[in-house]
Chain A
């Protein structure tokens, strides 16, 4: 009988597992991970470059709600995360760096309407 497999079993008994206990522990997310978008609306110049380069046409230039119309008169990118393929071309093309991708990726949802990310949220 070969001793190799037995040795391997004992080694694995005391080894740290490859997986982690998820809700308590999370693996480290790299800085470049492409997650949910973040729009800095004050930086945005409404050029529409992000909407034009989006391969899935997930970005639409929309107006903000009427109560904020005075402060933000132009159109701003609204991202439909349901269509987005997280390629980060919008981030690369933005001349002002207004739209960026964060590392946040917990985006699963039960309702389809919640996938749309408005340029500004009124609280």
Chain B
């Protein structure tokens, strides 16, 4: 008791940032403060736990592919892709070339809309409502394309499924995708971060060093914002990424501002990838077992670990098959887990409370994949 009295002074208090805070998502941070300064921050996840790893042990791969949308609400097609690749590996499916192109086009469109949300929430967190409204508005054009191709605006319901994709692209889809890229380009120019409001709120805020980023397991834009050029699409290519020409943006500064610059430049690179893929789109089948949507999972035996570059970082599936109808064990690695727990706690120590939303959103969090 005496120790506590010595440690804390009268102006100290503890409070929650989230989960009911309008700018926190389904995640909460317990902050201990002295005046306006954060002394210690403790991440408090678990508000969005749905237990996918256990649910997947009771469902066959086709049903799981519908379930895999839900791992992260903001990038469902990319999670579809990781799951589908894991099952493809176990079943030794030879995915048709056209399906691979469609998968990449959709995954990159998903990355663009996810980065728009990043711009939107960073604006929202710092009180720049115009940015939020415009980014969400332009994201809608991409959602219209998803609706046309997959049948759902946000949830594709396992469109990218084991063995390929569930349906071929509809007529004129290529034209519509390219038309949407024009809108994306306009939005990208609008979202220029070289303005006073952004510089003041994000420059030199939440600086993460290269060593810390590696130590705490950062991936994706957070790691590239610290000067490490690591990208699964380049280091361990999947689908058709080895045949495509794109750059990996890297910045050495490691602050909130440059973390988001990576996002903006990745939108440009994604547009490049989509244009190339649409140009080279071959004709042919889109699904290996071209009969029924069911996967004969009893034939699969062994284990696999598949990792992909999602918009937030490295997402992976570990799956074990023992000759049953359903997987024996599934482990999902979400990129936000290491960003939102160790890195967030480290970056929030000693900052002003007003900088908390800026740092929080610059880490590109998704509570859904922290909790899974």
Residues of A within 8 A of B (CB): 18, 30-34, 53, 55, 85-89, 92-93, 101
Interface string of B143-183 (1 = CB under 8 A from A): 01001111110010110000000110010000000000000
The answer to whether A33 and B62 touch across the interface, beta carbons within 8 angstroms, is no
How would you classify the secondary structure of chain A's contact residues: helix, strand, loop or mixed?
loop
Q: Would you list 12 pairs from A and B whose C-beta atoms are within 8 A, ordered by A residue?
A: A32-B148, A32-B170, A33-B147, A34-B152, A34-B157, A53-B62, A55-B63, A87-B158, A88-B151, A89-B63, A89-B66, A89-B293
Nearest CB on A from B62, distance (A): 6
The answer to whether B62 and A30 touch across the interface, beta carbons within 8 angstroms, is no
Is B324 an interface position by the 8 A CB rule?
no
CB-defined contacts of A88 to chain B, threshold 8 Å: 151, 157
Bound together, the chains give a CA A118 to CA B67 distance in angstroms of 26
CB-defined contacts of A86 to chain B, threshold 8 Å: 152, 157
Interface residues in B49-103 (C-beta closer than 8 Å to A):
59, 62-63, 66-67
Bound together, the chains give a CA A122 to CA B334 distance in angstroms of 50
Bound together, the chains give a CA A19 to CA B165 distance in angstroms of 32
> Knowing A86-B157, A93-B292 touch, does A32 contact B150 (C-beta < 8 A)?
yes
Nearest CB on B from A63, distance (A): 26
The answer to whether A32 and B149 touch across the interface, beta carbons within 8 angstroms, is yes
Bound together, the chains give a CA A85 to CA B154 distance in angstroms of 12
CB-defined contacts of A93 to chain B, threshold 8 Å: 292-294
Interface residues in B291-334 (C-beta closer than 8 Å to A):
292-294
CB-defined contacts of A89 to chain B, threshold 8 Å: 62-63, 66, 157-158, 293
In the complex formed, the residue of A with least CB distance to B55 is A55
Bound together, the chains give a CA A119 to CA B67 distance in angstroms of 26
CB-defined contacts of A18 to chain B, threshold 8 Å: 137, 140
In the complex formed, the residue of A with least CB distance to B70 is A85
Bound together, the chains give a CA A61 to CA B27 distance in angstroms of 41
Nearest CB on A from B114, distance (A): 20
The answer to whether B151 and A30 touch across the interface, beta carbons within 8 angstroms, is yes
> Knowing A86-B157, A89-B293 touch, does A55 contact B151 (C-beta < 8 A)?
no
Interface string of B31-62 (1 = CB under 8 A from A): 00000000000000000000000000001001
CB-defined contacts of B170 to chain A, threshold 8 Å: 30-32
Q: Which of B150, B155, B166 is within 8 Å of A92, CB to CB?
A: B166
> Knowing A30-B147, A87-B158 touch, does A53 contact B294 (C-beta < 8 A)?
yes
In the complex formed, the residue of B with least CB distance to A93 is B293
> Knowing A87-B157, A87-B158, A89-B293 touch, does A30 contact B63 (C-beta < 8 A)?
no
CB-defined contacts of B152 to chain A, threshold 8 Å: 33-34, 86
